[in-house]
Structure 1
Amino acid sequence: MTPSLFSRPAWTAIIVCAIVLALLPILNLTFAPDHALHVSSYTVALVGKFMCYAMAALALDLVWGYTGILSLGHGVFFALGGYAHGMYLMRAIGKDGVYQSNLPDFMVFLDWKTYPWYWSFTEHFWYAMALVVLVPGVLAFVFGYFAFRSRIKGVYFSIITQAMTFAFMLLFFRNNTGFGGNNGFTDFKRILGFSITAPTTKAALFLITLAALLGAVVLCRWIVTSKLGRVLQAVRDSESRLMFIGYNPLWFKLFVWTLSAVLCGIAGALYVPQVGIINPSEMSPGNSIEMVIWAAVGGRGSLLGPIIGAFSVNGLKSWFTGAFPDLWLYALGLIFILVTLFMPQGVLGLAKQFQRKREAA
């Protein structure tokens, strides 16, 4: 019998939330700005960004919550997916840039004469989408193979993932690498021939992101409730005992690590056209640590918890950085400490405890 991960009320809540989210861009397009039911374009873009973060948090939960692999470098996979899509968007600008060249403005400014080999064919949308999946996936596979084969785990694995994302950030900051340097990629004009700033295009991107997030939830649920999922949880709980009964954890860890990186890359690709920029700061170790905080706050090892954490923490961040911009990092650190001490299972775990006490009473 396949174990159930979400209860019937949980499925009901998922469906209701999905319907409410899907209505946001529709209300934005249907009603005038002065109408009571109108949802602003800012809100649509902000929630779309939160959904991308939620997908990245879900991907992290797959490796941390269910396999016990704490990654502090998932920001690099998120950014690589964003850069792959971002270069397609840069090439779609055509001659509408400041310098009216077929090359992006940053390449003209830095006196590039042609595209480097690794950006070949990126003017084709589907090729760029293939890079969104392949680049994070191949990097994760190669990195994970050598790390897992060497039996690197625990805090040591976390440290080398953080070193990896920091090294990539420094590489992408360099002007001579063809990634836009400090400014990255921005000033996008079109996607598949449609104006990227048009309300209908933004609505379509929002709905595609929502569909991708729901698809990721279904995929991750299918994995963690399958026999593969039980093996992954055995890796988390007692890897040595799993090896004793004849399993080789290498390939199981490598599979889930690579899949998690791919999901993060897709989230990054969906993030870029909605936010309008991708730069090396997305690879900063701080961003990867924030993903861990999202999963911890919501409740790791639950799939829905990291999504709740991503929405709640980033919603608080949007308000806090407007009201008290200099204090947000202190608040974030305090949130993580309080959750670790008093809510080790996160918000979702706390809600389940209240429900069990209510049923017992």
Structure 2
Amino acid sequence: MIAAPLFSRRAWCAIAGCALLAALLPLLNLAFPDGHALHVSAYMVALVGKFMCYALAALALDLVWGYTGILSLGHGVFFALGAYAHGMYLMRAIGRDGVYQSHLPDFMVFLDWKAYPWYWAMTDSFWYCMALVVLVPGALAFAFGFFAFRSRIKGVYFSIITQAMTYAFMLLFFRNDTGFGGNNGFTDFKRILGFSVTAPATKAALYLLTLAFLLGALLLCRAIVQSKLGRVLLAVRDAESRLMFIGYNPLWFKLFVWTLSAVLCGIAGALYVPQVGIINPSEMSPANSIEMVIWAAVGGRGTLLGPIVGAFAVNGLKSWFTAALPDWWLFALGLLFILVTLFMQKGIAGLLQALGRGRRGAP
């Protein structure tokens, strides 16, 4: 049975209220000057926009882990590839406004490159790079998933090879000769579609676009898990052998949801880059992929809403810790994961469900 809170009237009211409140933040930033009681700082708008990108990635992970039982420890690579695909356009859009005033990005000039490598062709086109945002993570996920699922690799073995995959890509992108900026990655963006990336109106538009994609992805995932396809995915998670016995081939169902999840992660990365202003290989760190799992676990996997809440809660806590007690953040994160595993196995969403049933006097 699909998680009830996602479809209850109270949940829909909460979603609508949170979406409306989130949409107001950039408008309050633009409408009221600094010092006004209703003014929202540009820092807060950027922070919430970043959290929404993380929430979209957590939602994508929940689709494969919570509903299909596929634990990925490598979703960070899909997030980063989408970010790099958009970053290529943003680097081309700098034009000759870089430090070296060259038509090449500064890192290429510094490394004495004379021309763009072949895989940078057409990246001055925004729509071509948007196609790459979808196609590159999707193609990698499809190829990787096809061979892994066809070989019936599952459980901890699948998790390990996904982590190895993202680590290998991280090492590759750290190299200066790959043409992706090496250790520093892409930064110092100037324009997007002719508009200044740093302009308040542009930041507000990117923020609202991120919110729209997050809500759209939530509705898409809800439609999938409520459909017949969703019931098959649950069967893959709970009784894959029985599913094969009655004539279903789990390969294509797993491959579909795995590829879709990667594409959603790539879109999250593409929305992340212009708002944060940088992308480098550290986004492919295995630790980042593990953090995505923690977001889903803390929020409540298999609920769709839970991972979104978990992404906001964990990253909000991280922002506070890294400012107040930076040396203690990793200890706090580990303790949080242990406590959730031992005492809140259904996460925040499960806790809210239990509280709701308690208020209604339900068993």
TM superposition score category, shorter chain reference: over 0.9
Deviations 1:93-125 (A, max 9, x none): 000000000000000001111111111100000
Structure 2 CA distance, aligned partners of 1:165 and 1:8?
40
Tell me, yes or no, if structure 1 residue 256 matches structure 2 residue 257.
Answer: yes
1:189-228 map, 5 Å: 189-228=190-229
Tell me, yes or no, if structure 1 residue 166 matches structure 2 residue 167.
Answer: yes
CA contact (8 A) 2:3 2:303 kept: no
1:272-291 map, 5 Å: 272-291=273-292
Superposed displacement of residue 241, structure 1: 0.4
Tell me the amino acid that sits aligned with residue 338 of structure 1. Answer: L
CA contact (8 A) 2:174 2:183 kept: yes
Superposed displacement of residue 195, structure 1: 0.3
SS at match of 1:98: coil
CA contact (8 A) 2:82 2:269 kept: yes
Tell me the amino acid that sits aligned with residue 303 of structure 1. Answer: L
CA contact (8 A) 2:3 2:302 kept: no
SS at match of 1:122: coil
Structure 1 CA distance, aligned partners of 2:346 and 2:108?
48
Tell me the amino acid that sits aligned with residue 344 of structure 1. Answer: Q
SS at match of 1:218: helix
Superposed displacement of residue 358, structure 1: 2.4
Structure 2 CA distance, aligned partners of 1:116 and 1:306?
39
Deviations 1:230-266 (A, max 9, x none): 0000000010000000000000000000000000000
Partner of 1:186: 187
Structure 2 CA distance, aligned partners of 1:306 and 1:354?
18
Partner of 1:318: 319
Superposed displacement of residue 354, structure 1: 1.7
Partner of 1:79: 80
Tell me, yes or no, if structure 1 residue 301 matches structure 2 residue 316.
Answer: no
SS at match of 1:79: helix
Tell me, yes or no, if structure 1 residue 141 matches structure 2 residue 142.
Answer: yes
CA contact (8 A) 1:3 1:225 kept: no
Superposed displacement of residue 357, structure 1: 2.2
Structure 2 CA distance, aligned partners of 1:341 and 1:3?
21
Structure 1 CA distance, aligned partners of 2:131 and 2:115?
22
Superposed displacement of residue 351, structure 1: 1.1
Q: Percent identity?
A: 82
Q: For structure 1, which runs of at least 5 residues remain unmatched after alignment?
A: none
CA contact (8 A) 1:294 1:306 kept: yes
SS at match of 2:254: helix
Superposed displacement of residue 3, structure 1: 9.3
Deviations 1:9-48 (A, max 9, x none): 0000000000000000000000001100000000000000
Partner of 2:92: 91
Tell me the amino acid that sits aligned with residue 216 of structure 1. Answer: A
Superposed displacement of residue 359, structure 1: 1.7
Partner of 2:245: 244
Partner of 2:176: 175
Structure 2 CA distance, aligned partners of 1:220 and 1:203?
26
SS at match of 2:7: coil
List structure 1 segments (4+ residues) > 2 angstroms apart after TM superposition.
2-5
1:117-128 map, 5 Å: 117-128=118-129
CA contact (8 A) 1:60 1:71 kept: yes
Tell me the amino acid that sits aligned with residue 234 of structure 1. Answer: A
Q: Aligned pair count?
A: 361
SS at match of 1:197: coil
* Alignment CA distance shift 1:193-1:95 (3 Å): same
SS at match of 2:183: coil
**TM-score of the aligned structures, taking structure 2 as reference length:** 0.98
Instruction: Report the RMSD for the aligned CA atoms in angstroms.
Output: 1.2
CA contact (8 A) 1:189 1:195 kept: yes
Structure 2 CA distance, aligned partners of 1:100 and 1:270?
27
Structure 2 CA distance, aligned partners of 1:89 and 1:137?
21
Tell me the amino acid that sits aligned with residue 290 of structure 2. Answer: I
Superposed displacement of residue 353, structure 1: 1.1
Tell me the amino acid that sits aligned with residue 21 of structure 1. Answer: A
Tell me, yes or no, if structure 1 residue 8 matches structure 2 residue 9.
Answer: yes
Superposed displacement of residue 144, structure 1: 0.1
Superposed displacement of residue 154, structure 1: 0.1
Partner of 1:339: 340
Structure 2 CA distance, aligned partners of 1:149 and 1:117?
33
Structure 2 CA distance, aligned partners of 1:21 and 1:92?
29
Deviations 1:165-200 (A, max 9, x none): 000000000000001000000000000000000000
**TM-score of the aligned structures, taking structure 1 as reference length:** 0.99
Structure 2 CA distance, aligned partners of 1:43 and 1:140?
34
Partner of 1:33: 34
Structure 2 CA distance, aligned partners of 1:34 and 1:152?
57
Superposed displacement of residue 131, structure 1: 0.1
